[in-house]
Every structure is written in structure tokens, then in C-alpha cells.
Amino acid sequence: MDKPIRVLVAKPGLDGHDRGAKVIARALRDAGMEVIYTGLRQTPEQIVAAAVQEDVDVVAMSILSGAHNHLFPKVVRLLKEEGIEDVLVLGGGVIPEDDIPGLKEAGVEGIFTPGTPTKEVIEFIKGNVKK
Amino acid sequence: MYEEKKLEQIKSSFKDWDEEVGKQLGKRPEMKEIFATGSDKTVERLYTPLDISELDYEKDLGYPGEYPYTRGVQPTMYRGRFWTMRQYAGFASAEESNNRYKYLLEQGQTGLSVAFDLPTQIGYDSDHALSEGEVGKVGVAIDSLRDMEILFDGIPLDKVSTSMTINAPASVLLAMYIAVAEKQGVTPGQLRGTIQNDILKEYIARGTYIFPVEESMRLITNIFEYCSKEVPQWNTISISGYHIREAGSTAAQEVAFTLADGIAYVDAAIKAGLDVDDFAPRLSFFFNAHNDLLEEVSKYRAARRLWARIMKERFGAKKEKSLQLKFHTQTAGSTLTAQQSDNNIVRVAIQTLAAVLGGTQSLHTNSRDEALALPTEDSVRIALRTQQIVAHESGVIETVDPLAGSYYIESLTNDIEKEAMDYIEKIDNLGGAPKAIEKGFIQKEIQNSAYKYQMQVESLEKIVVGVNKFRIEETEKKELLKVDPHVELMQKKKIERLKSIRDNDKVQNTLDVLKAKAETEENLMPFIIDAVKEYATLGEVCGVLREVFGEYEQSVIL
């Protein structure tokens, strides 16, 4: 049997809106993945440390405060600095369309905005996980 | 409300009707097996006097302005005066937010509502490492009294009432507000407004906590005590169900957890030696308005009645104002869709009606583009106009509590009150709201409701127009508000400059005194006011308190 996909669900920055992060965490778990949820107020450094320690396949971050352009790419960069290239990085939240190309270019491979069904996220992970 | 004999007749005629309908269902079936409210409460085909046969008009409804206030806290409601139209606003710098406030006041808004950025809400200055990327994003950045002076420049604080969405550092922002007023020649006694100051819902749902529970409760009771003497027209707390609902709770859970938090604050203040009638008149509440119009109206009515009963029976409050649940409403951000976002105008209109038919004291209407970004000026104007249309054109304000007596509304009001009471009893058994939060009980209940709702949307059991049905391909670019990315740098420069021109010895002195007093049981408000008047920054004041109080550790529950 295949090893289950391991996902770190993370809340970077100071934003306290975690409804989406928790719903996604539970949906991924119900889909058979192993999910670790960081809780609120994580710095990019803490998220990368958790990703390394938990040896995850996916880092899924959620921000609704508008700080995504700053925090998402920073996590990708720090992962690279740790020599980690095979982790799928995803972002969700209130993210204006104009910001999406820049984030994708920065290495956030999937961006999910309000109204996205959890199934879509699950399928995206299954189709794009690298390990 | 009905005679026994009449009820018997109705029971019999209802049975006949129901059987007749039952026969026709084979040919003309209903669209669903089970009908339900937005919060998933089962709804019957028809409500009749049989559903409210126990209702006692004078005991359960009474008259507006009279106990138990089911029908409203004022006798004439909107015939006397409309609700306060209060748009929550703030972004980027104090200068830009000041402009937006002046614009809103010119457009006929009647009160201010300040949104702070996250660093401010969590007690960090703009130059703190954790503030990176967040400065000015979800509200205005306030680092010191200097920013507050700019924020309210040209706005007479004896004329407007100001609501501030600030919780963990509420005492610091209130201190700054008092200091700005003083510079305008306005005394604390003239100030009208509200601080949110509701830390329990931060632990439950909103996330901008700083200090541990006990220390936070101390700061809150310090504010109650200080304001009852010095700032008597100030609403010292806005006990908030709004964020609990946004986190995914049902309507009944929103009432239950909000009032359970309210009970905890009253308990804490009484334990600190205050008399319930000295502080209870200044307690206020804050609720959500979702799309299920009739359920929401029932929710507000149930909350009012239940709080009046709790204050009277549980706490023995005597003053009328102590028994009255006054509340602000905001339309539901979580119901806004990023898809076909102009449809949100309609959702907000329905939610506005709910709040007004439910007897709100003030209202913020969300803008159509808020699932995408902070709202543009045009969007905010439409949202404000929505309130004005309901006020002036819809006719719902002509009489007080117009939906009262509807079999459905009264039955649902009873139902929501009952469910909330059951929850409050459970929470009491866990040791009260702070303990129930520590154990994760409240968070878990909310998460379960949120997950269930999401699954219902995905299985099309619940339809969200434009999201899981009636979708279209959208290509048109929308005009969105962009926060100037230079705000962070500007704020950092302002702090640097401030620290070079203020009297740093005096600042240090006031901070040392505050630190020493934090270790005693004295009321901290006067010492916080002293510090901010010397231009100690928000981060410095909160930093001192962090040293003494420590920080809250979130219990992560999935």
C-alpha cells in the first residue's frame, strides 16, 4: 500500500481566521491524508522548521489578511534554502486575482480562493504531489 | 395566548389539512425531504397557534422598552431614531483612514468604526519582526498617540461616537483616545463610543489575543471600573458573537457562546468587587447577520430575552439598563462570494433587513468586493446606501418589531432560546466559558458546524448562488483597493522620528511605573494613560505587560 500523503496546514502571519484552514485540514484527513495543523501566528521560519521535522509532502498555507505576497514566497524561499525542492506548496485565502501569477512564479503551485470545494484541493494535491 | 377550546379546534382542523396535503404529496411532491434554516434547524411546512400555545404574551414578549425586551430595548425603536449607520473602516496609514472617515461622515454616516491592522491588534509596533507584511493591511496602523492624533484630526470627538475593534490592547487604545480628546478640549465624560474588549471570543474564534486568560480578564475589569467613574458614556465591551458565527457556528450557537462569554465577564467583574448595576448598563453586544432572514430575526429576539432573564434571575441586576441587550450588527463576511461578486449587494440587503427587523442599535453593511480585498470607496457607498434604502424606503421601520406574533418567528425564537440555554448549562457544568474554551469544547462545536456546512455546500444540499449553482465564466477585471506597500516603511520612519524627539527618560519612567503596578492589584488604566501621553508606543506598553503577564498559549484542536 502507498504511504499516505503528509500535509502541513499552516497559518502564517498574524491573521486569526482559521475556519478555512481547519475545514481543509479535516477534509484532507477524511481523504486519507496525514495532517498536521500548526495553529495561529507562525513565522515562515517556524513553518519551514515544522515541514522539515514532520517530513511532509505538502505545505498548505492560509492567509486572509492580505500579507500573502510577503509570506507565501518567503516560505518557498526558506524551503529552498533548506535544500527542500520536492514539497508541494499551496496557498489559500482572500487573494486577489492580480496577485496569483506572481505567487505561482514564486513557487506557490496552487492558489485556492474563497468558494473552492475541498475536493478540488484534494485532487490537486493527489495530482501534483512530488514525493 | 389562546383559549383551550379554540386550540382543540385548531388541532383538529390542522390534522384534517395535514392529511389532505399528505394525500397530494404523491402527485405533487415537495422539493426536499427535510426543510431547514440556514443553521440547519428543521423547519415544518406550516406553523400555527399550536406551535406557540405556551407563549405568554406579557411574560415572554411584553412591550418594547420593557422586560424581557423581546420586542426591542426602546419603546419607539426606529420611529424615534434610526439605528446608527456605522461602517467599519481603516486601512494603511492614519492619514488615509482619516480621509475615509471624513468621506463617510460627509455621505451621511452617523458614527465611526475603526479597523486596526493586525500588529496593532496584537500589540506590536510596525517595526517589529512579526509585523512584516501585515502593516496597514486589514486596518490602520497605530503605533503611538501621534498616529491617533492624525487619525481623528478634524473630527470633533464630542460630536461623533467611535467604535474601536480592539481587544487585547483595548486599554491602550482607549487611553490614546482619551488623550486625543483632551488635546481637542473634550473631557472623558463627553466621550461616546465602544471598544470591543472581548478577549474570550479572540481565544474562541478571532485570534488576536496577547495575554493569558486571567490577566486579560483583569485588564477588562480594570476598564469596566475606570470607565464607570471617568468615562460614563463609554460602552466598555462589545461581547461578540460575530466572529463566532463567521468561524462557522449556527445561529443558536452564536447566541449561546456569546451570552456564555457575557456571563463570564459579569462574573469576573463581580468577583473584582464591582456592583453589577454599576457596569452592566455599559455592556453591549455584537452579532452577525446571515442570509436566513427569519432565523436571524428570531435569533436577535431570543438573545435579548435570554440576556434579560440571565441578568435579572442569575445576577439580580436591578437597573433597567442592566437588563437590556443592546447590540451592533455586521452583515456576514462569510456569506460573500468571490464569484459574481455584485450579487453580494443583494445578500447584504437581505442581511440588513434581518438586522433592522431584529431591532439592532447600529449596523455595518459589508461591501460587495470584500471576498476579494478591502472595499473600494464606490463599494462602501453602495453598502451604506443599502442601509439608507432600508431606512427610508422599505417601510419596515414604521412600526416596532413588525414580525412579532408570526407563528414561525415566535416558535423559532423559543427554539433558539432553548438551544442556547442548553448550551449555557453545558458550559456552566464545564466551569464557565474560560474553562470551556481551555478544554476546546466551544471551538470544537463551532468547527463541527463549519465542516458540516462545507460538506452540505459541496453535496449541493445547500445552494450558494454563483458558487455551486448558476455559475458563469467571469472575465471582466474588477477594480480593487490596493493598500500602498510603502505604509510599512513610512510607519517605521515615523517611529524612528518619534523616538528621537520625545522625552525618552519620561517615557521610561512611565513604563517602569506601569510595570510595577502590573505586579500589584491596582487598576492599570491611569498608568497606561500616563504612558501613552508621553508617547510611549503601543508595542512598548504591551511589551511591559507581556513581561509581567506572559502570553496566551493557544490550544490547537482539530
Q: Are residues B160 and B44 in the same domain?
A: no
Write out the three cell numbers for B194. Answer: 465602544
pLDDT at B555 over 90: no
| Mean pLDDT, rounded, of chain B | 96
Question: How far is residue A41 from each of residues A49, B209, B311, B532, measured CA to CA in Å?
Answer: 14, 11, 37, 27
The C-alpha atoms of residue B24 and residue B10 are separated, in whole angstroms, by 21
Does B558 lie at the interface with A, CB-CB under 8 angstroms?
yes
Q: Are residues B8 and B104 in the same domain?
A: no
In a domain, B378, yes or no: yes
In a domain, B332, yes or no: yes
Q: Are residues B37 and B85 in the same domain?
A: no
In a domain, B216, yes or no: yes
Interface test with A, best of B116, B117, B138 (most A CBs within 10 A): B138
pLDDT at B558 over 60: yes
Arithmetic mean of pLDDT, B342-350: 98
Q: Are residues B41 and B149 in the same domain?
A: no
Q: Are residues B213 and B318 in the same domain?
A: yes
Going by C-alpha positions, the residue among B8, B2, B164 that lies closest to residue B97 is B164
Which parts of B107-142 fold into alpha helices (H)? 118-121
**pLDDT for the residue B111:** 85
In a domain, B532, yes or no: no
In a domain, B503, yes or no: no
The C-alpha atoms of residue B244 and residue B494 are separated, in whole angstroms, by 36
The C-alpha atoms of residue B537 and residue B540 are separated, in whole angstroms, by 5
Q: Are residues B143 and B41 in the same domain?
A: no
Going by C-alpha positions, the residue among B368, B348, B376, B342 that lies closest to residue B472 is B342
List CB contacts (< 8 A) between B138 and chain A.
Answer: 15, 65-66
Domain final residue, candidates B384, B411, B436: B436
SS3 B412: helix
pLDDT in tens, B490-549: 999 999 999 999 999 999 999 999 999 999 999 999 999 999 999 999 999 999 999 999
Going by C-alpha positions, the residue among B382, B377, B302 that lies closest to residue B342 is B382
In a domain, A119, yes or no: yes
What DSSP line would sit under A39-90, residue for residue?
Answer: -S-B-HHHHHHHHHHHT-SEEEEEE-SS-HHHHHHHHHHHHHHTT--S-EEE
Interface test with B, best of A7, A11, A22, A120 (most B CBs within 10 A): A22
pLDDT at B102 over 90: yes
In a domain, B469, yes or no: no
CB contact under 8 A, A19 and B556: no
In a domain, B478, yes or no: no
Number of domains in chain B: 2
The C-alpha atoms of residue B294 and residue B251 are separated, in whole angstroms, by 11
**pLDDT for the residue B483:** 80
3-state secondary structure A107-127: CCCEEECCCCCHHHHHHHHHH
Q: What is the pLDDT along chain A (131 residues), one digit of tens a residue?
A: 579 999 999 999 999 999 999 999 999 999 999 999 999 999 999 999 999 999 999 999 999 999 999 999 999 999 999 999 999 999 999 999 899 999 999 999 999 999 999 999 999 999 999 87
**pLDDT for the residue A1:** 53
List CB contacts (< 8 A) between B248 and chain A.
Answer: 19, 23
Q: Are residues B43 and B120 in the same domain?
A: no
Q: Are residues B182 and B225 in the same domain?
A: yes
The C-alpha atoms of residue B473 and residue B30 are separated, in whole angstroms, by 32
pLDDT above 90: percentage of residues in chain B: 92
In a domain, A1, yes or no: no
**Could you give the ipTM of this predicted complex?**
0.95
Q: Are residues B37 and B81 in the same domain?
A: no
Domain final residue, candidates B382, B416, B436: B436
The C-alpha atoms of residue B71 and residue B400 are separated, in whole angstroms, by 7
Shortest CA gap B162–chain A (Å): 23
List CB contacts (< 8 A) between B208 and chain A.
Answer: 14, 16
In a domain, A99, yes or no: yes
Answer for the pair B558, A39: CB distance below 8 angstroms, yes or no: no
Answer for the pair B308, B324: CB distance below 8 angstroms, yes or no: yes
In a domain, B210, yes or no: yes
Number of domains in chain A: 1
Q: Which residues of A touch B (CB under 8 A)?
A: 13-19, 22-23, 25-27, 29, 35, 37-41, 43, 65-67, 69-71, 94, 96-98, 113-115, 117-119
CB contact under 8 A, B248 and A23: yes
Q: Which among B17-21, B85-89, B91-95 has the top mean pLDDT?
A: B17-21
CATH number of the domain that residue B348 is part of: 3.20.20.240
B193: β partners: B162, B234
Q: Are residues B317 and B431 in the same domain?
A: yes
Give the domain extent around A123. 6-128
CATH number of the domain that residue A52 is part of: 3.40.50.280
Give the domain extent around B355. 62-436
**pLDDT for the residue B50:** 97
Q: Are residues B136 and B218 in the same domain?
A: yes
B162: β partners: B112, B193
In a domain, A100, yes or no: yes
pLDDT in tens, B23-80: 999 999 999 999 999 999 999 999 999 999 999 999 999 999 999 999 999 999 999 9
Instruction: Indicate the pTM of the whole model.
Output: 0.96
SS3 B60: helix
pLDDT in tens, B227-258: 999 999 999 999 999 999 999 999 999 999 99
Q: Are residues B42 and B73 in the same domain?
A: no
